[in-house]
């Protein structure tokens, strides 16, 4: 799951940098949501995905009994794949 979170966050960072937005490394997800989700350039579901991954990452770091089911992981992987595809398409336009 950590790899999934890193891939999504790095993709969000790539979009921010490509469009000339600065960000603090710890705030990349929030900055992406503000610049792209809140403005409607990316669907709201991707803002939910970023928040969910941040929450799960925090839980995994601080809760030794944390786990998610295979179906939850599969769902997150599917959402992440959709985000990565949308980001790639977004970066190719213009």
Instruction: Return per-residue pLDDT of the chain as tens, 94 residues.
Output: 788 899 999 999 999 999 999 888 889 999 999 999 999 999 999 999 999 999 999 898 899 899 999 999 999 999 999 999 999 999 998 6
pTM (two decimals): 0.90
Count Cβ atoms below 10 Å from residue 21 Cβ, excluding itself.
15
Q: Cα 11 from chain centroid?
A: 7
Sketch the domain layout of the chain as residue ranges: 2-92
Q: Where are the alpha helices (DSSP H) in 1-94?
A: 2-18, 28-32, 44-62, 70-92
């Amino acid at each position: 799951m950590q790899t999934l979170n890193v891939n999504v966050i790095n993709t969000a960072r790539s979009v921010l940098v490509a469009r000339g937005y600065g960000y603090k490394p710890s705030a990349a997800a929030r900055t992406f949501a503000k610049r792209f989700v809140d403005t409607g350039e990316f669907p709201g579901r991707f803002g939910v995905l970023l928040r969910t991954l941040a929450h799960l990452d925090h839980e995994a770091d601080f809760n030794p009994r944390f786990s998610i089911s295979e179906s939850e992981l599969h769902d997150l992987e599917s959402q992440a794949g959709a985000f990565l595809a949308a980001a790639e398409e977004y970066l190719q336009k213009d």
